[in-house]
Structure 1
Amino acid sequence: MSDNPVDVRDGLATGARKLLARAAAAETCAYRSLVVATDDFFLPEEQRLDERTRSAMAVLLRGLVETVEAEIREHSTRLLASRGESVLAQALANDTAPVLARLSRSGLLRDPELMTELMARVRQELVGNALPMQGAVDPERPSLINRFVQHPDRVVSAGAMAVLIAESRRRGSPESGQLSQTELPAELHHRLVWWVAAAIRERVADAAEGAFDALDQALSDAATRSLSAYDEGDRLEATAMRFAAAIDAQRQELPQLLVESLGDRRIVLFNALLAHALGVSYSLTRDIVLDPVGDRLWLALRALELSRDTVAKIGYALCEADPRRDLESFADTLDAIASIGAGEARAALSPMKLNPDYRAAVLALGRAGGAE
């Protein structure tokens, strides 16, 4: 007879329950996978992300999360060490598994506003990089932005230099692969910081044991520090808008500036110049420029009284850079675009100048349906 009797049936029952639970979870997981695969199969081709965009989105999202995570981890570790929580500080420092996967599983990163911003940013970058490079008539002449750096007006020259600095910051560090900062609108940056802090907390919760208060305080302080140091005005888009305002291009100057900014592959500057001339926000203008249908863009260009030749140059450059655009279709409609009167175009675009929140509410109500 055994000195340590164990009821084998209890062990078998426990093992069976675990097996049944895993089987049920697997069945649920398989069903969810089927739903996702089915949705993907029936997605219209024009709405499907191409591999280039999908890959760029993944790289950008990873870079944003890892940039915030590295900052919060480093400062939290220093705070815990300085507060006598050396064991917890070591656990935080040794936990090298990134939190991106956890945030992805949580569904938080599916935030519509965040995804809208990231998608627009990725497409803007892809189109900008693919724009056909146009050599200057005079090869000795500096590029558009470099000429303005040398401008005698100090406000204009400082604005041009700020754009160059912001462009460099947007590219991040090629050595570490991390970004200098997220370059997100302030509200989205705030959300991301707190999500990352919460995910880090979850990862080191086991090591915290009875020191949860110390861990929470350190992570909260580190997140608050990150938020206080963030300046939305440093974003590339914001600096480009300030630069466009400093130039304040007149009607006869604008066409050449728009064409040349695309020729220099500076689509952010193109968007900013266009937004300032139209008197609307950068984000709205970016949406108009990136829309492959192009109707709103052609109306915007005609509202600014741009000539047929200028519209043709802009349209050709964007069609060459964006595979979603149809160059032949644009060529076929060019005469119709040029025939639109400036006043008629401005009237058609007048809703764009409504209060952004009011306009968003009108659009949201329209999408919701249910009207009598």
Structure 2
Amino acid sequence: MSTDERDIGDGDRNGASRLLARAAAALSRADRGLAQTIDDFFLPEDARLDDRTRATLTVTLAAMVAAVEGDLRRRAARSLAAAGEGVAVLDRLTGAGLLRDPGLMRELIARTRLDLLADALTTAAPDDAGAPSLLARLTASGDGQVANAALTLMATEGRRRGFLDTGRLSHTELPAELHHRLVWWVAAAILEQLADGDAGRVMADAGLHALGGHDESDRAETAAVRLATTIDPQPAELPALLTHALGDRNLSLFVALLAFALRMDFAVARQLVVAGGDPLWLALRAIDLDRATIARIGLALSNDVDAFADQLDAIVAVSPADARAALSSLALPADLRAAIAALAAAR
């Protein structure tokens, strides 16, 4: 490479312009990166993702995008040979900010935290050592509907555990609305790389067929809710069911049973469980659990066992009626809660 002085031509000027543009972009990225680093530094500890959650969330998001992308490319490749070419779809969606969607991230963060919480629990309660799991017993139920619902949950949870082991997904297992958004985001990212004039129609058809094949019942969360509803537990049965589900590390069923008893959405009950603390203890009192059951659940799920033990008397002293009243807004439909919050914010 020569560094001798020479006349500057048009090519050099064009190269200089591109260099200036790249430098300006790099400086802009540096400014944004610094701002993000500052924001991260001042996040309170309870709002910061731990390394394991962050890593699992990263793998989950990448696997979901890959699953949708692979499905769309297979469908479109029947008509578009170029649809099989590689495109950095994940990077494109991330750069565009689409994956920062609050609904999508709320679902993925809660799901990841619940999976990791279940993984951290002890495998079985001491007095149940060697006994079949609650889910295994339910699959052998004489009630065919209960047995079928338990088998479905067992299958979906097996697939979820398989993902945690391999990092690969065949289904997004997202609620329908979020799955629809992801399919069209991925379709748009693939489409902008295709020059074929028919690509838009072909990709639209591929997306519609992909949406038609999405079965929201084929999710661990939906299967758990169906099983809890089919069991239809009476109040006296809840302590044993909840503690056995917890002892089996089956937090999807634990959350579904809690949601059923509280008459609230699975997602709301799941947030109570993954966040832990006072709202969860109130939820346990709201369904009138006794001291021993609350203690067993609290010791398993509490982030601070000593603090939980110190306030156990106060927890039990709260009446079920007062606990239900304190949590009453959480039992409202999600859209109604959102509307109430929007009106309050605009007041």
TM-score (norm 2): 0.93
Q: In the aligned structure 1, how far is the partner of 2:320 from the partner of 2:128?
A: 33
Q: What per-residue deviation string (whole Å, max 9, x for no partner) do you get for residues 282-330 of structure 1?
A: 01111111113x21211111111100110000001112xxxxx211111
Give the drift of 1:254. 0.6
Give the drift of 1:45. 2.4
Residue 135 to residue 176, structure 1, CA distance change in 2 (3 Å):
closer
Q: In the aligned structure 2, how far is the partner of 1:63 from the partner of 1:22?
A: 32
SS at match of 1:314: helix
Give the drift of 1:357. 1.3
Give the drift of 1:365. 4.0
Matches within 5 A, 1:7-46: 8-46=8-46
Q: In the aligned structure 1, how far is the partner of 2:223 from the partner of 2:51?
A: 31
Residue 23 to residue 49, structure 1, CA distance change in 2 (3 Å):
same
Q: In the aligned structure 2, how far is the partner of 1:14 from the partner of 1:357?
A: 54
Amino acid in the other structure paired with 1:226: A
Give the drift of 1:135. 4.3
Give the drift of 1:193. 0.2
SS at match of 1:230: coil
- Conservation of the 8 A alpha-carbon contact between 1:72 and 1:197: yes
SS at match of 1:233: coil
Partner of 1:287: 271
Matched, 1:223 2:201: no
Matched, 1:92 2:83: yes
Structure possessing the higher radius of gyration over alpha carbons: 1
Over aligned residue pairs, what C-alpha RMSD do you find? 1.9
Partner of residue 339 from structure 1, selected from 279, 299, 317: 317
- Conservation of the 8 A alpha-carbon contact between 1:171 and 1:179: no
Give the number of equivalent residue pairs: 341
Q: In the aligned structure 1, how far is the partner of 2:235 from the partner of 2:228?
A: 13
SS at match of 2:112: helix
Q: What per-residue deviation string (whole Å, max 9, x for no partner) do you get for residues 329-351 of structure 1?
A: 11111000011112222222222
Residue 289 to residue 364, structure 1, CA distance change in 2 (3 Å):
farther
Residue 146 to residue 59, structure 1, CA distance change in 2 (3 Å):
same
Q: Flag structure 2 segments of 5+ consecutive residues without an equivalent.
A: 1-6
Q: In the aligned structure 2, how far is the partner of 1:158 from the partner of 1:220?
A: 36
Q: In the aligned structure 2, how far is the partner of 1:98 from the partner of 1:17?
A: 27
Amino acid in the other structure paired with 2:254: F
Q: In the aligned structure 2, how far is the partner of 1:142 from the partner of 1:44?
A: 42
Partner of residue 115 from structure 1, selected from 81, 85, 105: 105
Residue 175 to residue 252, structure 1, CA distance change in 2 (3 Å):
closer
Amino acid in the other structure paired with 1:146: A
Give the drift of 1:46. 2.5
SS at match of 1:119: helix
Q: In the aligned structure 1, how far is the partner of 2:165 from the partner of 2:304?
A: 38
Residue 102 to residue 248, structure 1, CA distance change in 2 (3 Å):
same
Q: In the aligned structure 1, how far is the partner of 2:312 from the partner of 2:338?
A: 31
Q: Flag structure 1 segments of 5+ consecutive residues without an equivalent.
A: 1-6, 81-88, 320-324
Q: In the aligned structure 2, how far is the partner of 1:341 from the partner of 1:141?
A: 34
Amino acid in the other structure paired with 1:356: A
Give the drift of 1:177. 4.2
Residue 140 to residue 273, structure 1, CA distance change in 2 (3 Å):
same
Q: What per-residue deviation string (whole Å, max 9, x for no partner) do you get for residues 29-73 of structure 1?
A: 221111112212222222211101100110100110000011001
Q: In the aligned structure 1, how far is the partner of 2:43 from the partner of 2:258?
A: 33
Amino acid in the other structure paired with 2:301: L
Amino acid in the other structure paired with 1:108: L
Matched, 1:363 2:347: no
Partner of residue 283 from structure 2, selected from 270, 278, 300: 300
Residue 143 to residue 30, structure 1, CA distance change in 2 (3 Å):
same
Amino acid in the other structure paired with 2:135: I
Q: In the aligned structure 2, how far is the partner of 1:180 from the partner of 1:312?
A: 39
Partner of 1:181: 171
Q: In the aligned structure 2, how far is the partner of 1:326 from the partner of 1:106?
A: 39
Matches within 5 A, 1:97-176: 97-135=87-125, 137=127, 139=129, 141-172=131-162
Q: In the aligned structure 2, how far is the partner of 1:166 from the partner of 1:337?
A: 35
Amino acid in the other structure paired with 1:361: A
Give the drift of 1:24. 1.7
Q: In the aligned structure 1, how far is the partner of 2:165 from the partner of 2:113?
A: 24
TM-score (norm 1): 0.87
Q: In the aligned structure 2, how far is the partner of 1:153 from the partner of 1:63?
A: 37
Residue 133 to residue 303, structure 1, CA distance change in 2 (3 Å):
same
Amino acid in the other structure paired with 1:309: A
Q: In the aligned structure 2, how far is the partner of 1:164 from the partner of 1:280?
A: 23
